[in-house]
Amino acid sequence: MRYRFLLLLAMLLSVVARAETAAAGGKALFAACVACHGAAATGNAALQAPALAGQDAAYLERQLRNFRAGVRGGDGAEVSAVQMRGMATAIATDSDVAELAAWMASLPRPALSAAVAGDLREGNNLWQGKCAACHGVTGEGYPALNAPRLTGLDSAYLRRQFLAFREGRRGAHPADRYGRQMAMMAKTIDTGAELDAVLSWLRAQPPGAQ
């Protein structure tokens, strides 16, 4: 019995040690991202760099892989996406990608971004009718459906990504399965008052909403 306990303890300590090593690796890798995304990965609106802290690790890893493979940041992409593709290709291995994503996911979620003008009631109606099934009723994301959290993100960034999906600058690559789904959904919301209302409603949700 004592031998079994010691064996289990050794296994547990080994798992913890590997996790700590991976976390240290992810933190070191993130040093290359600080200039744009901030020391705490809370983003920089002036540089069009989104907050990454507290986002689902699998989503972050998938996007980094997409940038590395040219699925994102290719022809027709906005300048910031092209720049991000260049940064992502500097990540040496798939293991590094996973460690970096896990580190960013472990960070505290950022404070709310600035508000935009819009009708919160209409925003809620549009969100619940068109977006909640994938991104959650409060915008908290749904990892099982590969849909990221959208609360706590800068409104200007969300607007740019929505327009990129709608205009075919994102989600058009054959390998971007989930991006193609979002590109289709983006066409169901207009780019005027409806989009303003949705962004205002998202802004009103707590970043840690669950």
- The last residue of a domain, from among 110, 137, 168: 110
**Per-residue pLDDT tens for 104-119?**
999 998 877 667 778 9
Residues 95 and 195 in one domain: no
d(CA 97, CA 101): 6
Q: Which residues contact 123 (CB under 8 A, 6 or more apart)?
A: 197, 198, 199, 200, 201, 202
Distance spanning both ends of the chain, measured CA to CA: 42
Q: Who's near 83: CB < 8 A, 6+ residues apart?
A: 73
Same domain, 139 and 174: yes
pLDDT of residue 116: 72
Sequence-distant (6+) residues with CB within 8 A of 124 are: 201
How confident is the model at residue 171, as a pLDDT? 94
Domain total of the chain: 2
Kindly report the pTM of this predicted structure.
Answer: 0.84
In a shared domain, residues 40 and 79 = yes
Judge if 137 and 103 occupy the same domain: no
Side chain identity, residue 2: R
Question: Where on the phi/psi map is residue 52: left (φ > 0), alpha (ψ -120 to 50), or beta?
Answer: alpha
Residues of the chain with pLDDT under 70: 1-24, 113-114, 208-210
Nearest CA to 39 among 129, 114, 91, 103? 103
Paired with 142 in beta bridges are: 147
Does 95 lie in the same domain as 146? no
Does one domain contain both 63 and 140? no
Task: Domain of residue 169: give its range.
Answer: 111-210
Q: Is the distance from CB of 194 to CB of 118 less than 8 angstroms? A: no
User: Per-residue pLDDT tens for 119-149?
Assistant: 999 999 999 999 999 999 999 999 999 999 9
